[in-house]
Amino acid sequence: TQTTRPQRMLAAVQKNATRGDPRSVVKAIDQFCRQKEWAMNVGDEKGCILDSVVTEVNPATVLELGTYCGYSTVRIASLLPPDAKLITLEFNPHNAAIARQVIAWAGLGDKIQLVEGASGDWIPKMKEKFGIETFDLVFLDHWKDRYLPDTKLMEECGLLRKGSILLADNVISPGTPDYLEYIRNSPRYKSQYFRSHLEYTKAEDGLEKSVFLG
């Protein structure tokens, strides 16, 4: 029977990456997406911007909205300090099943908690279920029409503290106009746009980095 793109991506990781070596997993996925099939990972170009933000923030707690196959999950977790925790939410069970195997191959299972379900359902449960006070870094990469409602929900649930960083993928392509409008005009955030390209293409895209001011 026909395989899916995530399954073919996982096969490429298991064939070309070294077990326990997260950066080789990242490299194998980027090679697969450049040479074989496009896929909606944040990619190598925007991935370098993501790396610089992660290393600058040096977060103890990270929330990723939208795991997909685990590319950015592994990329972020490979840069975290020893006792840091990354929680990643994935709505699509098939994506989640693939991502678990990619994360395992990278050897990052003890740093990453993959939760299956919708952000709207899980954000209000973060404190009670995972003992999280606030997130130092949030990477938004799920459904683009959920960026704004979920940001408001995180504010309401007290999951952001003075200095928490939101980093949003795809603010140009596919685009998140209502989120950009809100975050750039809100007195509660200081935002910065990092211009780049849509993963593996020449189209414009970028990451929006926003600091919550409290």
Q: Where along the sequence are the contacts to ligand 76T (CB under 6 A)?
A: 40, 65-66, 89-92, 118-119, 141-144, 146, 169-170, 173-174, 198-199
Q: Specify whether 170 is catalytic.
A: yes
Nearer to Mg ion, 32 or 134 (CB): 32
**Are the CB atoms for 173 and 147 separated by under 8 Å?**
no
Nearer to Mg ion, 10 or 64 (CB): 64
Nearer to ligand 76T, 111 or 146 (CB): 146
When asked if residue 208 is in the footprint of Mg ion (CB under 5 A), the reply is: no
CB of residue 59 vs ligand 76T: minimum separation in angstroms? 19
Cα dist from 153 to 8, 46, 53, 87, whole Å: 35, 26, 23, 17
- Give which of Mg ion, ligand 76T, none residue 142 binds (C-beta under 5 to 8 Å, depending on kind): ligand 76T
CB of residue 18 vs ligand 76T: minimum separation in angstroms? 26
Residue 209 in 3-state DSSP? strand
Q: Specify whether 44 is catalytic.
A: no
CA-based nearest residue to 117, from 86, 96, 140: 96
Please give, one letter per residue, the 3-state secondary structure of 1-43. Answer: CCCCHHHHHHHHHHHHCCCCCHHHHHHHHHHHHHHCCCCCCCH
**Are the CB atoms for 184 and 171 separated by under 8 Å?**
no
Q: Specify whether 16 is catalytic.
A: no
Q: Specify whether 58 is catalytic.
A: no
Active site residues per annotation:
141, 144, 169-170, 199
Residues at the site binding Mg ion, with contacts judged by CB under 5 A? 141, 169-170
